[in-house]
């Protein structure tokens, strides 16, 4: 015959009078507090997260496409989404260069004179072994990455113009819509210290030569204001670095 053992288990936290008396006498440990589950707090997900301009600005083009149905009930954000998509697609249409492109004499007409009419082309005439050419080239390489919608090209001076005198090096030519818009002969054209910011300001003296390809305001005034801001930030950084070096040597 099977031996059955039944264990009675009362409601959690309940106790008998006998147990209570034994606890008062110190014969039993204190009764543990009854279990209380933590209060329910719904987790914040992508749908309930705060949606505003900053939230949309962080989306890629594919993600913005996918938001069309989600934002139908918010007219403002839906209009802003459409605006962001249009800006991104317009910026994608702009030809991007991003470096100083080497060309030969036979390439000049195709690469410079026949460049698209909305593209500004900056040409440096140079020769290897001239320190002044190297200094200006470094500045142009810096600007080419900052302003990828502006086309920067380099060509050996005598490949471009036979018998071009070395004492005129380096020389910059600025083209737009097939015509020369400006020329700068010699490094002195860019001030006592030849810096990317200084070269940028000279290039934009009369025309909006530099374009970052972001689809924003590329007017001459906007470019100059951006260059001035970058120059000030650079001076501040260099000053802070000098202060840090000075304090570390004490």
Q: How does pLDDT run across 166-192, given as a tens digit for each residue?
A: 999 999 999 999 999 999 999 999 988
Predicted confidence at residue 138, as pLDDT, reads: 96
**Long-range contact set of residues 99-102: C-beta below 8 Å, sequence gap at least 24:** 99/141, 99/144, 99/145, 99/152, 100/124, 100/137, 100/140, 100/141, 100/144, 100/152, 100/153, 100/154, 101/151, 101/152, 101/153, 101/154, 102/153, 102/154, 102/155
pLDDT in tens, 23-32: 777 766 777 7
Residue spans of the chain under pLDDT 70: 1-15, 18, 27-28, 35, 39-59, 61-62, 64-77, 81, 88-95, 214-220, 241-250
Predicted confidence at residue 153, as pLDDT, reads: 97
Listed in sequence order, the residues at least 6 apart from 122 whose beta carbon sits closer than 8 Å to its beta carbon are 140, 150, 151, 152, 153, 172, 173, 174, 175, 203, 209
Asked whether 74 and 55 are in contact (CB, 8 A), the reply is: no
The pTM assigned to this predicted structure is 0.57
């Amino acid at each position: 015959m099977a031996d059955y053992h039944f264990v009675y288990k009362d409601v959690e936290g309940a106790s008998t009078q006998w147990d209570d008396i034994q606890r008062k006498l110190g014969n039993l440990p204190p009764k543990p507090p009854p279990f209380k589950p933590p209060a329910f707090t719904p987790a914040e997900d992508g749908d309930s997260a705060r949606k505003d301009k900053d939230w949309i600005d962080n989306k890629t083009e594919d993600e913005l496409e996918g938001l069309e149905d989600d934002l139908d009930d918010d007219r403002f954000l839906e209009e802003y989404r459409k605006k962001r998509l249009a800006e991104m697609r317009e910026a994608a249409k702009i030809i991007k260069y991003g470096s100083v492109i080497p060309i030969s004499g036979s390439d000049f007409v195709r690469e410079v004179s026949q460049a698209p009419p909305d593209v500004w082309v900056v040409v440096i005439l140079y020769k290897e072994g001239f320190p002044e050419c190297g200094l200006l080239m470094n500045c142009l390489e810096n600007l080419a990455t900052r302003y990828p919608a502006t086309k920067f090209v380099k060509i050996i001076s005598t490949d471009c113009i036979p018998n071009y005198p070395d004492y005129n090096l380096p020389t910059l030519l600025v083209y737009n819509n097939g015509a020369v818009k400006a020329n700068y002969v010699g490094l002195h054209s860019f001030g006592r210290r030849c810096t990317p910011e200084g070269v940028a300001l000279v290039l934009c003296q009369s025309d909006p030569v530099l374009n970052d390809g972001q689809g924003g305001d590329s007017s001459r005034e906007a470019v100059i204001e951006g260059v001035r801001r970058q120059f000030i930030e650079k001076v501040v950084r260099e000053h802070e670095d000098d202060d840090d070096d000075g304090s570390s040597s004490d």
